[in-house]
Amino acid sequence: MPLVQFLMMEKEIFLSQIYKEKYMKEINVAVTGGAGQIAYSLLPRLISGETFGRDTKVNLRLIEIPQVVDKLQGTIMELTDCSFEQTGQLVATSDIKEGVKDADWILLVGSIPRGIVIDGKKIEERSDLLKINGGIFTDQGAAIGELAKSDAKILVVGNPANTNALIGMNSANNSTQQWFAMTALDANRAKAQLAEKAAAEISSVKNMIIWGNHSPTMYPDPYNATINGASAAEVINDNQWIEDSYLPLVQQRGKAVIDARGASSAASAANAAIDTVKAVINPTKEGDCFSAAVVSDGSYGIPKGLIFGFPLRTNSNGKIEIIQGIELNEFAQTKIKVTTEELESEREAVADLIG
Ligand code: NAD
Ligand code: LMR
């Protein structure tokens, strides 16, 4: 290679290093369940610039139970080998306090998935996981409330996500931090079904709201979802399909994936987690919303304090709001009542964990 070309290349590398050191923002992101199957799809996308931006260096803390934490060294080798410019420090720990200290974002993925057999009994429903997983979120919540940044955002993926988030948030007892439970996977599933039925592009489906619980009682609203600006239910014009096919398919998609692949959804779950983070940190486009469960402030008559799936918007100042004024027909109201009652009974079941 000619000397001049070589020197130019060296200069570019030197300048890009200076830029990285001087001008890149830096954030701390903690992920529990770092050695699990969702994490395997999730982690590279958190540190590649895709999620937090090319100008943001991500320090990643991977948190695992002590029996598994050593395996994370292999994950760290792989993440290092991805050689992303945005990758900062990579740390593995089984100490939740070390993991969440000064964290900007915490993704609580670590927990047991359904489908497995415990004490000779197969765990069939996500709510059956309450007693097994619920306890994890008290200690993690307390550590987050005490040690993570005051404006930390917490996304609960581990099931049952809404009630685990309720436990964690109560334990954290820190009103400036913001807790979310993931319903974006349900929204993506619903969008895909509506687009396919209407023979429309996925990008034409907007305003997809998942009301309530990430469970078979969720209500993936086809009336307020739009396809090219018109109500999806009106475009599809087939109420029988909506009630007998679309709703049960979206509500039971997690189980269908488990039955088909012998393990719960991982790539699509990781993708939905990335979608949620991006939706929270970027302003929402006009005429659209994003789906996640947040603490109810009484909007739409939902009891205050429940972690409930609502239509959300991120404003240009970064504030996340529950979108008001969405019309709910009688069908929607019946469905929302069912999912509300389920969340209330889950809250009762973990009353001892939320004080
Ligand atoms: P997995 O079993 O592959 O991985 C879970 C990991 O969590 C394991 O490595 C385990 O050691 C770790 N873990 C357990 N307890 C922990 C603790 N206290 N601290 C840190 N780590 C801990 O499971 P997965 O497929 O990655 O799924 C994880 C969870 O996500 C499950 O509860 C699953 O049901 C849920 N999930 C939710 C959605 C959603 O849409 N909300 C979608 C898919 C899966
Ligand atoms: C999903 O919806 O795929 C997850 O919640 C996993 C499950 O148990 O269904």
Which residues make beta-bridge pairs with 310? 292
Answer left, alpha or beta for residue 189, where phi above 0 means left and psi between -120 and 50 means alpha.
Answer: alpha
pLDDT at 115 exceeding the cut of 80:
no
Average pLDDT score over residue span 9-36: 80
Q: Beta strand pairing status for 210-211 and 219-220?
A: antiparallel
pLDDT at 125 exceeding the cut of 80:
no
Contact 271 CB / ligand 2 (< 6 Å): no
For position 11, what pLDDT does the model report?
A: 66
- Using the mean position of ligand 1's atoms as its centre, give its distance from the Cα of residue 192 in Å: 25
Contact 126 CB / ligand 2 (< 6 Å): yes
Amino acid at 184: A
Nearest ligand, CA 254:
2
Please give the distance of CA 16 from its chain centroid, rounded to a whole number: 33
- Using the mean position of ligand 2's atoms as its centre, give its distance from the Cα of residue 101 in Å: 29
Residue 222 burial (10 A CB sphere; 0-12, 13-18, 19+): buried
Residue to probe by mutation, ligand 2, list 41, 132, 258, 268, most atoms within 8 Å of CB: 258
Q: Beta strand pairing status for 210-211 and 153-156?
A: unpaired
Give the residue, by CA position, lying nearest to ligand 2 atom 9: 254
Contact 61 CB / ligand 2 (< 6 Å): no
Note the pLDDT tens digit of each residue in 178-228.
999 999 999 999 999 999 999 999 999 999 999 999 999 999 999 999 999
pLDDT at 14 exceeding the cut of 70:
no
Confidence of residue 131 (pLDDT cuts 50, 70, 90): confident
Give the residue, by CA position, lying nearest to ligand 2 atom 3: 254
Closest CA to 177 of 165, 185, 187: 165
For position 117, what pLDDT does the model report?
A: 78
Note the pLDDT tens digit of each residue in 232-291.
999 999 999 999 999 999 999 999 999 999 999 999 999 999 999 999 999 999 999 999
Return the percentage of the chain with pLDDT > 90, whole number: 86
Contact 51 CB / ligand 2 (< 6 Å): no
Mean pLDDT (the chain) is: 94
214 classed as catalytic: yes
Average pLDDT score over residue span 69-77: 97
Give the integer Cα–Cα distance in Å for 237 and 222.
11
Other Cβ atoms within 10 Å of 231 Cβ, number: 16
Average pLDDT score over residue span 86-97: 98
For position 128, what pLDDT does the model report?
A: 79
Confidence of residue 19 (pLDDT cuts 50, 70, 90): low
Note the pLDDT tens digit of each residue in 288-329.
999 999 999 999 999 999 999 999 999 999 999 999 999 999
For position 268, what pLDDT does the model report?
A: 98
Other Cβ atoms within 10 Å of 34 Cβ, number: 30
* Entry pTM: 0.94
Average pLDDT score over residue span 158-177: 97
For position 142, what pLDDT does the model report?
A: 97
